[in-house]
């Protein structure tokens, strides 16, 4: 072999070997593990985060950050590190260097977050029903005695409307529309720390950790008949392990009414009186001429009823802490709110102490809460009473025991009523003591036993006092009169004791990819009520306000009481496979003492399913766009027993019903059936389907939830008035226990549907040193009564009058087949009678023979030649077509800004205030009433009588659009920086200013367009207490 060739070949082999060896050594060096270190901090505050899990995705090797946020882990170059922490968005970083610092954002759609669902809790990812959560930070800026009002616009499908602006008044809450025709049955069940409450629990804002709102029947079914109108679960704050923490908040504010009703000034009023005189109508010109100095008066009598710059003071204290096994929490508060009208205020003192003990096998929660409420309720229609008094009349002395009356009848009523209304007192003191004990015993790793006991004792004392007055004729001061029956004092005492107990077994087992949950429970609730009412007239001394100083024998003394018992058993199965496919089924067997023996029990099932689509393998390619995608569906049935106790049992009463009498003409009392019974009344049942979709985008920064529901209400319960031919009689009195129609009997009257669409959206974004959080809700509900018993067209309720009048003609809201519950049925008008020809034709209608030119022209809608109740037509209702909520929270460095907006669209309002001011002759429109010389006017003739066809409160003349947009809350705050806090040795110091209800945009011509109330009264603005705007300054200090 050629030597040169051999040498050349060897050199080539050496080069190849050396190259291969170099590549192997290089790859070995590249794959060599390195130590990666870094610091993990929060994006919102920049503080280190301890406890963050750090995982090498390819190997499963893990580490945890220490108290200062530091971590250390072994990884190869090119590996991917996964950083995860509960409540924060996961971060993935490719290893390219040895030092990797990570900033983690808050995850507003944390799928591992726990949601309370009743008798348990589930991760948000495993939720199958329609449940929404509101956290304390979303509402804690509100200053109110009614926590429900802070929920307005926060949750889609939850309608919160103020029933009154009076301090201490509770809002009307409806979850997914009207759930029942029965008064009081539309209020959702409140459950505080697992214990069912009686009505709104009256919590302090600072007590609350979260609200979890159960909306669909599959979710509420676990609470049986108490959950027929939805459920609001309240979790109060609990202590945490560690050193004691102290949080103190103080707020001071003033409030005033936003709007005043339009009224004539003195010059305009005198012009109108002159016009009335020229038309031959009752007027004040004669009394003005007798007192010529009155012509120069310009007196605003609202000064007697308005309390301008009413103050609100709020103090709140929270203390918490604990050891490894025992934690504690104390919350105390004091709220003092003056009303914008005189004789109204609300004071509330509250304290709550809770403890939690945890060991290997036991968990014990205790809670004791005391709330003391003191309220003064002003006289109904106080503003309307003041508005009736003409501005040229002299001011009165509200502290005097004598008031003027005159021989002018139009003057007497407003003056006397105003003087009495100012001095009238209506005081309520309520004390509520709640105690609860919650014990959980872990029997095995999979099986646990829980029992809860709750006791609530509510004592209430209400006193009303109207002082005695001497009536003085201003034309003759020696002409005086005293009517002792006009003064009175009464007292009402109530005591309600509620006992609740439940016991449950929970079994939770995971076998491979399969997870099972079994629940079996029994429940017991017992409510015991006792009440006494007494009243006497003829007050002998206005400074002594007790029953035994009145001189006239008792007008009314009455005792009342009832006991309601509810018993239930339930079972629930929950299943999920790999967290992707979720299934739940529940059955509950309920018994209620409100029904007769044959219908006392009812069975109500429910089921729900969900599919986490985004967990499927085929979704991986879409997950960077749609981070979370879940579909949900449910069906459920819930019973409702919201009727009075003992409706299945008749009672006997006495009344002067015999037609013969003694020789002295005194009629003899007879006995008759007082309350008619219906022993076959049965459960009112809701059958509901719900379909939902949950979506998340932009690393869960943007979250979208949409729901569709359809609920059928069957066998609705409602009291029906019996005809006089039945022999039933009506006996009402001054006692609140006896003031109802005894001619009624409760029946299952028909069926109703609610169907609607809900949309909720949340967005969270960190931009530089600012953090933005947005929340928007949209709710649309369509209510319809689909059938009424015996195919009758409608049911009337006697509490829907606007300005009074005879029964059927004056009623406004109807329960009519094919329409929403509480629909307005009123007379349609077609302008005024303008010509002689129109008058001749109009007078041909039955009931309008005495019509005159300038009168409103009622439309004979049924073309029968008469104007009667059959001519009433549908004109909308107080229910909106849809509601919108929008909430903004923005933070930049140490500044923070929050705004809450709410809009209601599509409702109608019957403007009773305008009707009253027309009847009283005080509205500015009246100087433009129709006359022969003003024949183009659209303001009808005036008579001053509420019985006049032009002034009846049951026509579309008073109908107005109820749309409005309201700024519910705006708050601007500043927090001291961290370096200053460290020097002061405190953890937080925040100053803030806020305004509640400062702006309302509406076309409504009344005090306020937010007209709440029950299903019968919603949308009827009849001299209610308006909502005020509150402006406040506050400080929050945390140690």
Burial of 1017 from C-beta contacts in 10 A (0-12 / 13-18 / 19+): buried
Decide if 594 contacts 90 (C-beta within 8 A).
no
Q: Which of residues 374, 403, 427 is at a domain's end?
A: 427
Q: Could you give the CA distance from residue 536 to residue 546 in angstroms, rounded to a whole number?
A: 9
Beta strands in 722-806 (DSSP E): 744-767, 770-788, 794-796
Average of per-residue pLDDT across 799-823 = 81
**Across residues 275-293, what is the average pLDDT?**
90
Q: Express each pLDDT in 199-254 by its tens digit.
A: 888 888 888 999 999 999 999 999 988 888 999 999 999 888 888 999 999 999 99
Contacts of 49 (CB under 8 A, 6+ apart): 40, 41, 42, 65, 69, 85, 88, 104
- Indicate whether 20 and 97 sit together in one domain: yes
CA 703 to the chain's CA centroid: 25
* CB neighbour list of residue 920: distance below 8 Å, 6 or more residues apart: 387, 388, 414, 944
Summarised one tens digit per residue, pLDDT across range 816-828 is 999 999 999 999 9
Helix (H, G, I), strand (E, B) or coil at 420: helix
β-bridge partners, 800: none
| Domain assignment of residue 230, given as a range | 114-240
Give the span between the Cα atoms of 37 and 54, in whole angstroms: 11
Residue 532: pLDDT band with limits 50, 70, 90: very high
d(C-alpha 297, C-alpha 287), whole Å: 14
Strand partners, 254: 311, 1031
Are 454 and 435 within 8 A, CB to CB? yes
Round to whole Å and give the CA distance between 526 and 498. 6
Q: How far apart are CA 411 and CA 286, in angstroms?
A: 12
Distance CA 864, CA 690 (A): 46
Q: What is the pLDDT of residues 388-442, one digit of tens each?
A: 888 998 877 777 666 655 444 333 444 455 777 788 899 999 999 999 999 999 9
Cα–Cα distance, 600 to 167 (Å, whole number):
40
What is the predicted pLDDT for the residue at 406? 45
Q: Report residue 650's pLDDT band, with 50, 70 and 90 as the boundaries.
A: confident
Do 83 and 173 share a domain, yes or no? no
Query: Do 15 and 73 reside in the same domain of the chain?
Result: yes
- Contact indicator for 485, 461 with CB cutoff of 8 Å: no
Confidence at residue 2, expressed as pLDDT on a 0 to 100 scale: 47
Q: CA geometry: angle at 413 spanning 412 and 416, to 5°?
A: 80
What are the residue ranges of helices labelled H in 862-955? 912-919
Q: With 90 as the cut, is the pLDDT of residue 945 above it?
A: no
pLDDT over 60 (residue 587): yes
What's the CATH number where 222 sits?
2.170.130.10
Tell me, yes or no, whether 286 and 375 share the same domain: yes
Coil, strand, or helix at residue 889? strand
Residue 660's pLDDT is: 55
> What is the average pLDDT value for the chain, to the nearest integer?
86
10 Å Cβ neighbour count for 1?
A: 6
Give the neighbor-by-neighbor strand order of the sheet with 208-214.
Answer: 131-135, 208-214, 231-236, 189-192, 195-196
Closest CA to 922 of 22, 210, 366, 260: 260
Residue 50: how many other CB atoms lie within 10 Å: 15
Pair 245, 339 in one domain: yes
Helix (H) or strand (E) holding 23: helix 3-31
Give the pLDDT band (50/70/90) at residue 73.
very high
* Distance, CA of 495 to CA of 431 (rounded, Å): 10
Per-residue pLDDT tens for 535-569? Answer: 888 888 888 888 888 888 766 678 888 999 999 99
Distance CA 616, CA 419 (A): 74
Same domain flag for 283 and 414: yes
Measured at the CA of 830, the angle between CA 826 and CA 831, to 5 degrees, comes to: 120
| Measured distance CA(526)–CA(645) in Å, rounded | 13
Residue 980 belongs to a domain: no
Compute how many other C-beta atoms are within 10 angstroms of the C-beta atom of residue 76. Answer: 15
Q: Lowest mean pLDDT: which of 15-19, 443-447, 800-804? A: 15-19
What pLDDT, on a 0 to 100 scale, did the predictor assign at position 383? 84
Any domain includes 123:
yes
Radius of gyration of the chain (CA): 35
| pLDDT at res. 186 | 86
CA distance 455 to 445: 31
* DSSP H or E run through 884: strand 882-892
Domain count, the chain: 3
Environment class of 276 (CB within 10 Å of its CB; exposed 0-12, middle 13-18, buried 19+): buried
Residue 866 inside a domain? The answer is: no
The pLDDT score that the predictor gives to residue 409 is 38
Give, for 317, the enclosing helix (H) or strand (E): strand 310-322
Residues 278 and 413 in one domain: yes
> Does residue 9 surpass a pLDDT of 50?
no
**Cα 793 to the chain's mean position, in Å?**
31
Distance, CA of 399 to CA of 389 (rounded, Å):
18
pLDDT band with cut points at 50, 70 and 90 for residue 118: confident
What is the CATH classification number for the domain harbouring 89?
2.60.40.10
Could you tell me whether strands 651-655 and 670-675 are parallel, antiparallel, or unpaired per DSSP bridges? Answer: antiparallel
Distance between CA atoms of residues 313 and 251, nearest Å: 6
Q: For 473-500, how does the pLDDT look when each residue is reduced to its tens digit (9 = 90+)?
A: 655 556 566 666 778 899 999 999 999 9
599-to-183, 602, 648, 714 alpha-carbon distances in Å: 22, 8, 10, 15
Which of 183, 210, 240 marks a domain boundary?
Answer: 240
Strand order across the beta sheet in which 823-826 lies: 794-796, 813-816, 823-826, 873-877
Identify the sign of the CA torsion 839, 843, 845, 850.
Answer: positive
> In whole angstroms, how far apart are CA 713 and each of 225, 292, 444, 604, 749?
13, 65, 43, 13, 11
Give the tens place of pLDDT for each residue, 887-911: 999 999 999 999 999 999 999 999 9
**CA gap 379, 170 in Å, rounded:** 17
Going along 698-743, which residue ranges are E strands?
702-721
221 and 152 assigned to the same domain: yes
* CB-CB neighbours of 83 under 10 Å: 23
Q: Assess contact for 585 and 635: CB atoms under 8 A.
A: no
- 25 lies in a domain? yes
> Same structural domain for residues 201 and 338?
no
In a domain, 234, yes or no: yes
Residue 660 lies in a domain: no
> For residues 490 and 427, what is the distance between their CA atoms, to the nearest angstrom?
11
Average pLDDT over residues 27-42: 74
CB count in 10 Å sphere of residue 286: 13
CA distances from 521 to 119, 438, 576 (A): 9, 14, 21
User: Which of 225, 240, 255 corresponds to the end of one domain?
Assistant: 240
d(CA 312, CA 203): 17
Sequence-ordered list of residues with C-beta below 8 angstroms from that of 240, at least 6 positions apart, any chain: 320, 321, 322, 327
**997-1019 confidence digits (pLDDT tens):** 999 999 999 889 998 878 888 99
**Which DSSP symbol is given to 929?**
B
In this structure, are residues 863 and 837 in contact, taking their beta carbons and an 8 Å threshold?
Answer: no
Shortest CA distance to 502 belongs to which of 456, 570, 443, 434? Answer: 570
Contacting residues for 22 by C-beta, under 8 A, at least 6 apart? none
Query: Same structural domain for residues 267 and 322?
Result: yes
Looking at residue 584, what is its pLDDT? Answer: 96
- Ramachandran class of 738: left when φ > 0, alpha when ψ lies in -120 to 50, beta otherwise: alpha
The answer on 378 and 318 residing in a single domain is yes
Widest CA span in the chain: 161
Name the 3-class secondary structure at 228.
Answer: coil
Same domain, 93 and 223: no
979: part of which helix (H) or strand (E)?
A: helix 978-984
Domain presence at residue 319? yes
* Rounded average pLDDT over 288-295: 91
DSSP 3-state of 615 = helix
- Whether residue 435 lies inside any domain: the answer is no
pLDDT band at 112 (very low <50, low <70, confident <90, very high): low
Extract the runs of DSSP E, i.e. beta strands, from 339-474: 345-358, 362-376, 402-404, 425-442, 447-466, 470-473
- Per DSSP, 855 falls in state S
308 CB neighbour count, 10 Å cutoff:
11
């Amino acid at each position: 072999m050629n030597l040169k060739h051999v040498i050349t070949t060897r050199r080539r082999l050496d080069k190849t070997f050396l190259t291969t060896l170099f590549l192997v050594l290089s790859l070995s060096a590249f794959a060599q593990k390195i130590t990666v270190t870094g610091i993990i901090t929060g994006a919102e505050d920049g503080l280190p985060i301890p406890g963050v899990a750090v995982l090498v995705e390819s190997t499963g090797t893990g580490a945890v950050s220490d108290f200062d946020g530091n971590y250390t882990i072994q990884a190869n170059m090119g590996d991917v590190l996964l950083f995860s922490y509960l409540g924060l968005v996961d971060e993935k970083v490719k290893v390219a260097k040895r030092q990797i610092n990570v900033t983690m954002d808050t995850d507003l759609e944390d799928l591992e977050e726990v949601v309370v669902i009743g008798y348990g809790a589930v991760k948000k990812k495993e939720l199958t029903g329609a449940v929404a959560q509101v956290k304390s930070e979303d509402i804690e800026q509100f200053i109110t005695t009614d926590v429900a009002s802070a929920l307005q616009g926060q949750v889609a499908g939850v309608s919160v409307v103020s029933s009154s602006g009076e301090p201490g008044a509770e809002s009307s809450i409806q979850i997914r529309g009207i759930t029942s025709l029965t008064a009081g049955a539309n209020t959702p069940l409140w459950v505080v720390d697992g214990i069912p409450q009686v009505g709104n629990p009256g919590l302090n804002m600072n007590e609350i950790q979260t609200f979890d709102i159960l909306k669909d029947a599959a979710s509420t079914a676990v609470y049986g008949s108490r959950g027929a109108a939805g459920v609001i679960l309240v979790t109060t704050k609990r202590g945490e392990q560690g050193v004691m923490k102290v949080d103190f908040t103080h707020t001071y504010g003033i409030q005033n009414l936003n709007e005043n009703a339009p009224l004539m000034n003195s010059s305009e009023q005198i012009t109108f009186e002159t016009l009335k005189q020229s038309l031959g109508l009752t007027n004040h010109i004669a009394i003005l001429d007798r007192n010529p100095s009155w012509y120069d008066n310009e007196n605003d009598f609202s000064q007697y009823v308005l309390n301008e710059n009413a103050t609100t003071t709020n103090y709140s204290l929270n203390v918490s802490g604990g050891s490894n096994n025992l934690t504690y929490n104390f919350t105390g508060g004091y709220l003092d709110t003056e009303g914008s009208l005189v004789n109204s205020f609300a004071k509330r003192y509250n304290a709550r102490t809770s403890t939690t003990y945890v060991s290997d096998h036991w968990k014990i929660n205790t809670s004791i809460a005391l709330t003391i409420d003191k309220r003064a309720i002003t006289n109904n229609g106080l503003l309307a009473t003041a508005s009736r008094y003409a501005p040229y009349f002299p001011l009165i002395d509200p502290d005097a025991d004598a008031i003027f009356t005159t021989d002018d009848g139009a003057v007497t009523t407003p003056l006397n009523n105003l003087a009495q209304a100012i001095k009238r007192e209506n005081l309520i003191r309520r004390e509520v003591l709640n105690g609860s004990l919650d014990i959980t015993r872990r029997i095995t790793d999979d099986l646990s036993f829980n029992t809860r006991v709750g006791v609530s004792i509510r004592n209430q004392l209400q006193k009303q006092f109207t002082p005695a007055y001497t009536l003085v004729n201003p034309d003759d001061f020696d002409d005086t009169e005293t009517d002792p029956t006009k003064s009175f004092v009464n007292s009402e005492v109530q005591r309600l004791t509620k006992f609740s107990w439940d016991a449950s077994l929970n079994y939770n087992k995971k076998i491979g990819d399969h997870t099972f949950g079994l629940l079996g429970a029994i429940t017991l609730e017992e409510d015991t009520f006792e009440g006494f009412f007494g009243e006497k007239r003829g007050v002998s001394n206005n400074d002594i306000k007790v029953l035994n100083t009145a001189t006239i024998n008792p007008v009314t003394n009455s005792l009342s009481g009832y006991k309601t018992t509810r018993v239930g058993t339930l079972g629930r199965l929950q299943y999920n496979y790999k967290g992707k496919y979720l299934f739940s089924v529940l059955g509950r067997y309920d018994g209620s003492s409100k029904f007769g023996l044959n219908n006392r029990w009812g069975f109500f099932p429910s089921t729900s399913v969900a599919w986490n689509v985004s967990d499927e393998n085929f979704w991986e390619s879409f997950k960077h766009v749609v981070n979370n995608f879940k579909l949900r569906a449910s069906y459920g049935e819930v019973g409702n027993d919201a009727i009075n106790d003992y409706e299945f049992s008749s009672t006997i009463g006495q009344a002067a019903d015999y037609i013969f009498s003694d020789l002295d003409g005194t009629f003899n009392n007879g006995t008759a059936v007082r309350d008619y019974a219906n022993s076959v009344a049965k459960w009112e049942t809701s059958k509901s389907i719900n379909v939902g979709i949950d979506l998340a985008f932009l690393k869960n920064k943007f979250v979208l939830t949409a729901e569709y529901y359809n609920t059928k209400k069957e066998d609705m319960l409602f009291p029906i008035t019996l005809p006089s031919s039945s022999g039933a009689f009506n006996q009402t009195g001054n006692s609140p226990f006896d003031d109802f129609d005894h001619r009624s009997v409760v029946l299952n009257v028909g069926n109703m549907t609610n169907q609607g669409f809900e949309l909720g959206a949340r967005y969270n974004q960190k931009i530089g040193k600012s953090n933005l959080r947005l929340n928007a809700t949209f709710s649309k509900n369509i209510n319809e009564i689909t059938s009424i018993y015996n195919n009758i067209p409608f049911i009337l309720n006697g509490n829907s009058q606007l300005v009074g009048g005879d029964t059927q003609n004056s009623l406004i809201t109807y329960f009519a087949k094919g329409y929403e519950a509480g629909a307005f049925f009123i007379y349609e008008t077609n302008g005024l009678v303008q010509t002689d020809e129109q008058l001749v034709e109009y007078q041909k209608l039955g009931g309008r023979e005495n019509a005159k030119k300038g009168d409103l022209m009622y439309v004979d809608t049924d073309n029968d030649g008469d104007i009667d109740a059959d001519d009433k037509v549908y004109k909308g209702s107080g229910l909106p077509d849809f509601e919108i909520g929008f909430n903004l929270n923005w933070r930049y460095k140490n500044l923070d800004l929050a705004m809450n907006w709410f809009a209601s669209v599509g409702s109608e309002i019957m403007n009773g205030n305008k009707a009253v001011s027309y009847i009283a002759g005080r509205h500015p429109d009246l100087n433009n009433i129709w006359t022969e010389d003003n024949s183009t006017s659209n303001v009808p003739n005036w008579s001053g009588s509420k019985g006049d066809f032009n002034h009846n409160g049951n026509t579309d003349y008073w109908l107005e659009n109820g749309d409005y947009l309201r700024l519910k809350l705006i708050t601007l705050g500043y927090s001291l920086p961290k370096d200053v806090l460290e020097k002061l040795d405190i953890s937080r110091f925040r100053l803030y200013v806020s305004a509640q209800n400062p702006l309302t945009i509406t076309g409504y011509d009344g005090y306020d367009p937010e007209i709440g109330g029950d299903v019968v009264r919603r949308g009827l603005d009849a001299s209610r207490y308006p909502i005020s705007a509150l402006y406040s300054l506050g400080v929050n200090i945390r140690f």
